[in-house]
Structure 1
C-alpha cells in the first residue's frame, strides 16, 4: 500500500528529499521529472515511471519488480543491485547507466537504448530483448541463462566470463565484442554477426550456430564440442587449439583460417571450404564426410590421423 501520494512525492523531491527505504509500491510517477531523485533501497513494486525523465536517478538496491518503464529516460541512472524482476522496459534510455549486479530476471526489454551501460555481474536470465542497443556495454560476468534476444546490438561490448545456458540469439551483432572465457552451453546463435570478436577460451559446447559470421574472430582454445555449425563463415578466423570434437560442420567456410593443433576428432563434414587454411597438427581422428581430395590435401598440409 502506497503511503505517499504522487503529489506528496513530487513536492518532497522538489525540496531535495530522499526516499531511503520508502514504501512506494504501485505509485504512479508517469510523465514527471525525477532527475537526480534518490530512491535508495525504496520499495517500488509495480510503480509506473512511463514517459518520465529519470536522468541520474538513484535506485541503488531499490525494489522495482513489475515496475513499468515506457519511454523513460534513465541515462546515467544508479542501478547497483536494483531489482527489476518481471519489469517492463520499452523505449527506455539506459545510456551509461550503472547497473552492476542488478537483477533483470524475466524482464522484457523492447527498443531499449543502453550503449556503454555498466552491467557487470548482473542477472539477465530469462529476459527477452528485441531491437535494443547495448553497444560498448560492460557485460562481464553477466548471466544470460534462457534469454531470448532478437535484433540486439552488442558490438564492441565486453562479455568476459559471461554465462548463458540455453540462450537464444537471433540477428544479434557481437562485432568486435569480447567473449573471452564466456560459456554459452546448449545455446543458439542464428543469423548473427561475430566478425572480429574475441572468443578466447570461450565454451560453446552443444550449441547451434546457423548463418553466423565469425570472420577474423579470435577463437584461441575455444570449445565447440558436439556443436552444430551450419552456414558459418570462419574466414581468416584464428582457431588455434580449438576443440571441435563431435561437432557437425555443414556449409562452413574455413578459408584461410588457422586450425593449427585443433581437435577435430569425431567431426562430421559437409560442404566445408578449407582453401588456404593452416591445418598443421590438427587432429582428424574418425572425421566423417571429408571428400577424398580434401583428405589428400589435409595429409599433405600437416593434418594428423586423416583416414
Structure 2
C-alpha cells in the first residue's frame, strides 16, 4: 500500500505502520493530503516535495529533516510543529498558522510567508534567502543567525531586538 493511502487512514495507523516498518524516509512526493487531520503525526525525514497540504492540521507534528520543497501549505495549522532542519524552499505558507513552530536550521529559500503572524516561531540559523516576509509579524520570534539575504522585509513588524541578530 502506498504511503499516502496509509496516512489517510489516520495518524494512529500511520505512526504504528511507520514504527513497525522502521520507516526512515516516507515517500509522499506530490501527495494530495489537502484538509487531512494529521495532528501529532511523525513525518520526520519524509519526502513531501510538491505535496498539496492546504488546510492540513499538522499541530505538534514532527517534520524534522523533511523535504517540503514546493509544497502548498496555504491555510495549514502548523502550531507547535517541528520543522528543524527541514527544507521548505519555494513553499507557499500563506494563511498558515505557526505559533510556537520550530524552523531552526531549516532551509526556507524563496518561501512565501506574506502577511503571516509568525509569533513565537523559531527561525534560529534558518536560511530565509529570498523569502517573502512582507507584512509579517515577528513578535517574540527567534531569528538569531538566520540568513535573510535578499528577503522581502517590507512592512515587517518586530517586537524587541530579534531582527538585529539576523544576517542580512
CA contact (8 A) 2:130 2:148 kept: yes
Alignment of 1:4-153 (within 5 A): 117-118=1-2, 127-132=9-14, 133-135=16-18
Are residues 1:293 and 2:166 paired? no
TM-score normalised by L of structure 1: 0.49
Distance 2:163 2:111 in 1: 20
Q: Equivalent residue of 2:143, what SS?
A: coil
Which position in structure 2 is the counterpart of 1:238? 107
1:247 Cα offset (Å): 1.6
Are residues 1:217 and 2:90 paired? no
Distance 1:269 1:240 in 2: 18
1:291 Cα offset (Å): 2.6
Distance 1:244 1:154 in 2: 31
Q: Please identify which structure carries the higher helix content.
A: 2
Instruction: Report which of the two structures shows the higher radius of gyration computed on alpha carbons.
Output: 1
Which of 245, 252, 255 aligns to 2:124? It is 255
Which position in structure 1 is the counterpart of 2:139? 270
Residues 273 and 162 from structure 1, CA distance in 2 versus in 1: closer, same or farther, beyond 3 angstroms? same
Are residues 1:196 and 2:79 paired? no
Over aligned residues, Cα RMSD in angstroms?
2.4
Are residues 1:173 and 2:42 paired? yes
TM-score normalised by L of structure 2: 0.86
CA contact (8 A) 1:186 1:205 kept: yes
1:123 Cα offset (Å): 9.3
Distance 1:220 1:194 in 2: 14
CA contact (8 A) 1:154 1:172 kept: no
What's the CA shift string for 1:235-262, capped at 9, x where partnerless? 1100111111122112111110001010
Distance 1:249 1:215 in 2: 16
Give every structure 1 segment of 4 or more consecutive aligned residues whose post-TM-superposition deviation is greater than 2 Å: 117-120, 122-125, 127-136, 291-298
Distance 2:7 2:138 in 1: 35
Q: Please identify which structure carries the higher strand content.
A: 1
Which position in structure 2 is the counterpart of 1:281? 150
